[in-house]
């Protein structure tokens, strides 16, 4: 990335995310990808986080 630039990752499941996406794009943000995450993947990630946090 060039100097004076930024990047972010946003993972949301709410319908308001559509409006956020529109607002970001209206201000010259660049959308690199979008998609859906299967609930099983989310559950596995949460389980891993809980296991790591309890150590």
3-46: pLDDT as tens digits: 888 877 667 667 788 888 899 999 999 988 888 888 899 889 88
Give the ranges where the chain is alpha helix by DSSP (H): 16-26, 39-53
Does some domain include residue 35? yes
State the Cα–Cα distance between residues 21 and 26, nearest whole angstrom. Answer: 8
- Alpha-carbon dihedral 28, 33, 36, 37, rounded to 10 degrees: -120
Instruction: Give the structural domain span for 46.
Output: 16-53
Determine the pLDDT at residue 44: 92
Question: pTM value?
Answer: 0.44
Burial of 24 (0-12, 13-18, 19+ CB in 10 A): middle
Would you say residue 29 lies in a domain?
Answer: yes
Domain total for the chain?
1
């Amino acid at each position: 990335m060039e100097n004076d630039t930024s990047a972010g990752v946003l993972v949301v499941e709410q319908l308001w995310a559509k409006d956020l996406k529109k607002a970001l794009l209206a201000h010259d943000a660049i959308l690199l990808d979008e998609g859906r995450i299967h609930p099983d993947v989310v559950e596995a990630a949460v389980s891993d986080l809980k296991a790591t946090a309890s150590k």
